[in-house]
């Protein structure tokens, strides 16, 4: 990417709390991941299981899978210059990322309105990169955003069923495989219904600049491309 394109991406993020980066993940990497996920999830849960939003099939997946599937995605984003432009010197990827497999018309696979910053208390400054591996349109849904609350709005109390958004309507984001949606930790968002005839596979990856704080998860050092343990471990 040119410096002008990267500046435009950073300006949009700073003004809106999110940015959609088009065509940043090569199709061969998308296809490789999409071939991997169905068989991996079937082996873990069984072929007829429909995961809920609180499930993360990648928990405990190990270093081999991380290096085959997460590191290449992180490399594409890191080398593009986008992460550094948005967050500053982005040095770490939280492991494992979240993995979602939202089946058609399965409400238990949908997350309520929330802020990642309100749920990941062990991290300081970070951004979330949401990466779908299927076409995200009106039928397949995806993420709905609430940028009208301010940039960033700061923490909003979350109840048992997420943040009460009242009559606010989320902004849908249409995406193609290879696109990445990056958003601020305080940007409220919600899972949109999947009314298509396909499973919505996606990763949500967290990138951050410092090991300060009480991180509980392992990470990959994006400078040296090596594993690091949480502080004090």
What are 143-200's pLDDT values in tens digits? 999 987 767 778 899 988 999 999 999 999 999 999 999 999 999 999 999 999 999 9
Taking 80 as the threshold, does the pLDDT of residue 215 lie above it? no
Tokens of 25: 């993940």
Neighbouring CB atoms inside 10 A of 197's CB total 9
Determine contact, residues 120/185, Cβ cutoff 8 Å.
Answer: yes
Q: Which long-range CB contacts under 8 A does 159-162 form with residues at least 24 apart?
A: 161/112, 162/111, 162/112, 162/113, 162/114, 162/190
pLDDT at 148: 78
Q: Which of 140, 175, 172 is nearest to 25 (CA)?
A: 175
Pairing between β-strand 218-221 and β-strand 92-95 as defined by DSSP bridges: antiparallel
Residues 6+ apart with CB under 8 A from 138: 172, 174
Neighbouring CB atoms inside 10 A of 214's CB total 11
Q: Which residue has the tokens 């169905």?
A: 38
pLDDT at 213: 65
Please state, in angstroms and rounded to a whole number, the distance separating the CA atoms of residues 225 and 149: 37
The CATH class of the 3-228 domain is mainly beta
Taking 90 as the threshold, does the pLDDT of residue 216 lie above it? no
Where are the chain's structural domains?
A: 3-228
Q: Which of 128, 131, 144 is nearest to 87 (CA)?
A: 128
Please spell the DSSP secondary structure of 82-93, one letter per residue: HHHHHHSS--EE
Distance separating the N- and C-terminal Cα atoms of the chain: 38
Mean pLDDT of the chain: 92
Segment (H or E) for 29: helix 27-45
What are 34-77's pLDDT values in tens digits? 999 999 999 999 988 999 999 999 998 988 999 999 999 999 99
- Write down the pTM of the prediction: 0.94
């Amino acid at each position: 990417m040119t410096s002008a394109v990267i500046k435009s991406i950073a300006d949009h993020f700073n003004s809106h709390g999110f940015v959609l980066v088009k065509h940043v993940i090569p199709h061969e990497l998308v296809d490789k991941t999409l071939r991997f996920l169905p068989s991996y999830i079937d082996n873990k849960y069984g072929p007829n299981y429909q995961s809920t939003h609180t499930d993360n099939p990648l928990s405990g997946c190990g270093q081999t899978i991380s290096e085959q599937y997460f590191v290449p995605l992180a490399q594409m984003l890191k080398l593009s210059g986008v992460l550094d432009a948005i967050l500053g010197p982005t040095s770490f990827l939280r492991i494992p990322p979240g993995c979602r497999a939202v089946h058609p018309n399965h409400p238990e696979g949908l997350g309520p309105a929330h802020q990642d910053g309100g749920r990941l208390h062990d991290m300081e400054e970070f951004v979330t990169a949401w990466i779908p591996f299927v076409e995200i349109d009106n039928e397949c849904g995806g993420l709905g955003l609430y940028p009208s609350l301010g940039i960033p709005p700061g923490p909003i109390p979350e109840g048992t069923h997420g943040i009460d958004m009242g009559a606010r309507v989320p902004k849908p984001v249409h995406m193609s495989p290879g696109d990445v949606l990056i958003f601020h930790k305080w940007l409220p968002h919600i899972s949109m219904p999947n009314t298509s005839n396909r499973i919505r596979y996606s990763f949500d990856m967290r990138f951050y600049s410092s090991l300060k704080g009480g991180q509980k998860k392992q990470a990959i050092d994006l400078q040296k491309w090596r594993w690091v343990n949480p502080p004090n471990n």
